[in-house]
Chain A
Amino acid sequence: MSDIKEFSPAKRRMYMLLSEYWIVLVFLLIYGIFIILEPLCFSLPFLSSTLNYMTEILILGVGVMFVVITAGIDLSIGPVEGAVGVGAALTMRSLVPVVGVPLAITAGVIVGILMGMVIGLLNGLIVTKMKLAPFIATLGMSVILTGSGYIFNNGLEVVGLPKVLARLGNMQFFGFIGTTTIVAWTVWLIFGIILKHTRFGVITYAYGSNPESTARAGINVDRHLIKVFMISSTLAALSGVLLIFRFNTGSPIAGANVTLYAIASCIIGGTSVLGGRGKMIGTLIGAAIISILVTGLVMLGVQTYWQQVATGLIIIFSVYADQLRQRNAFM
């Protein structure tokens, strides 16, 4: 009847669990080492600052994950943050005298999000209509956006924004959960549900698994891919707006380094760059690993450059482990 290799069910389940969640163990291991080296890592303030640090990578990671699942990549997410940060901040600052603080802030947020949607639309159109590889399309876009971010305000940070921004952006709930953390985890949850339970999610996986088969099933794959790029850019824009709230400025250099960390967070979490596979929980853990490396090393007083070295090692190690797992699964 069957020609699949049969494990005993218990052994199989054990193997599945381990191969799905070994990355959690990696996180716990890293955290455990930090706690041993510096017991203060086992504290609410440490947790709070890690959660806070993590928000940016998490939001970007959730968005770019959709693109990675389609076997694409979006290199423009960091620069979107910078350009949107400056664009939205300028909108707020120039509108405050005209319409007052609340409306100006609202308008800035809307402008920022719209910028993200338009950038995603452009990325999607370049990929689907001009038929450029996502790598090229978004590389070009990222350079354009970085330049634009500087042009908007002559390369300067946008300062002099209403103080209420930072007050809203740095509120603490239950003593350790910040505003941005709540936004980030909500985004993670909503988009996790979309990915796992909706038609949109199914088609995203299907496209990454085999774009031609997906098109032949009667699906308008170009339109889907455009939407996927819009999710990535729009979430990057949201993250850019949140940075304004957190730091009370709009900075063109915001997002300069985070693109690769966000992509790394999905990859560490098991999303395949070949497309078709990846789980939201993995991206959360990937983001947590990268973040705790930063906050933990800071706590230990180690130069944070070591965090980059460690993240790089973990990327290589985790993808290698994933490959081994896949090879086994398909035998």
Chain B
Amino acid sequence: MSKVLLKVSGVSKSFGHVQALKDVNFELNEGEVLGLVGDNGAGKSTFIKILSGVHRKDKGEIIFDGDTVDFSSPSESIEAGFETVYQDLALAPDLPIYSNMFLGREMLRKGILGKLGFVDKDGMRKSVEKNIKKLKATLNHVDQEVGTLSGGQRQSVAITRAVIWGKKVIIMDEPTAALGVEESAKVLEIVKELKQHGITVIFISHTMPHVLEVSDKICVLRLGFTVANLNAAETTYEEVVEYITGARSQIEG
């Protein structure tokens, strides 16, 4: 029924002497949610940065939408349809909320001014206000500088930005890390809603109940290896934790 959107096989990556990724594998269908889990330093962020064009893989193959891809820059990944909420959020603290949301794809004025690169600040403000309302994000004023926001609010900005622009795949690297109970629940709702709109999500978190709640599939990384690919409906909290800690493994050695 649904087609394979993303197939990752044998991906590895090292930084000098540190081999962050050794062998990452999984397969994901369109509109599915993948929970990507693993202990600190397992390689989750490194892996998604390969998908988002920040890092280049050393070996392995990534097939996206039927094509082999190897993004050499974030813009290639974005163009292909990936949006990423980075663990460090990747915001510009001196810029207002609305500028951050439109960073790199500023709305331009109509006519000759637009051709000269004049930005349409009011247009951007209105659009961001609308989306903040739609996503029920706890952000008061679109002109507020991101550097003055609370940690959770900053996370909201990054998530909202990804959702606004998300075309095919949205990657969220620990999107609920700085969020309270209520806000976390909102993010989980957003993930479910994205899924309903046919958007594929890669969801990284250390909070297993969250992962189990939203994921269709779970990929467990340990020391740079994929040690398990699980069907979320058929696994349990305990089983996932055993894979994460190394008490169990689907691979040899």
From the candidates A199, A210, A218, name the one contacting B119 in the complex (CB within 8 A): A199
List chain A residues, Cβ under 8 A from B150: 3
Q: Write the nearest CB–CB distance from B61 to chain A, whole angstroms.
A: 24
Q: Is the CB of A276 within 8 A of B75?
A: no
B185 at interface by CB-CB < 8 Å: no
Q: Which residues of A contact B94 (CB under 8 A)?
A: 205, 208-209, 275-277
Q: Are B103 and A214 in contact (CB under 8 A)?
A: yes
Q: By DSSP majority rule, is chain B's interface helix, strand, loop, or mixed?
A: loop
User: Is A99 close to B, CB under 8 A?
Assistant: no
The number of A-B residue pairs with CB atoms under 8 Å apart is 83
- A35-86 contacts to B, CB under 8 A, are none
A199 touches B117 (CB 8 A): yes
Does the CB pair B117–A216 fall under 8 Å? no
Taking a contact as CB atoms under 8 Å apart, the answer to whether B118 and A218 are in contact is no
Roughly how many angstroms separate A271 CA and B147 CA in the complex, as a whole number? 17
Count of chain B residues near A, Cβ 8 A? 33
Q: Does the CB pair A4–B99 fall under 8 Å?
A: no
Tell yes or no: A317 within 8 A of B by CB: no
Task: Tell whether B116 is near chain A: CB-to-CB under 8 Å.
Answer: yes
Q: Is B188 an interface residue (CB 8 A)?
A: no
Give bound CA distance, A307 to B212, whole Å.
69
Q: Does B19 contact A (CB under 8 A)?
A: no
- Does A23 sit at the interface, judged by CB under 8 A? no
Q: Pick from A206, A218, A277, A329: contact of B75, CB below 8 A.
A: A218
Q: Does B123 contact A (CB under 8 A)?
A: no
For chain A, the count of residues having a C-beta within 8 Å of the partner chain is 29
**Interface residue ranges of A267-291 to B (CB < 8 Å):** 275-277
In the complex, the answer to whether B140 meets A1 with C-beta atoms within 8 Å is yes
CB pair A212–B99 under 8 Å, yes or no, is: no
Question: Per a CB cutoff under 8 Å, which of B92, B140, B148 touches A210?
Answer: B92
The one of B75, B86, B119, B140 that contacts A4, using a Cβ cutoff of 8 Å: B140
Chain A contacts to B: CB under 8 angstroms: 1-4, 197-200, 202-203, 205-206, 208-210, 212-220, 275-277, 329-330
Q: Tell me the B residues contacting A by CB distance below 8 Å.
A: 52, 54, 73-75, 77-79, 84, 86, 89-95, 99, 103-106, 108, 116-119, 138, 140, 144, 147-148, 150
Task: List 24 A-B residue pairs with CB atoms under 8 Å apart, sorted by A's residue number.
Answer: A1-B140, A4-B140, A4-B144, A198-B117, A199-B108, A200-B117, A202-B99, A210-B91, A210-B92, A210-B93, A212-B90, A213-B89, A213-B103, A214-B103, A214-B104, A215-B74, A216-B84, A216-B86, A216-B90, A217-B74, A218-B73, A218-B77, A218-B105, A220-B75
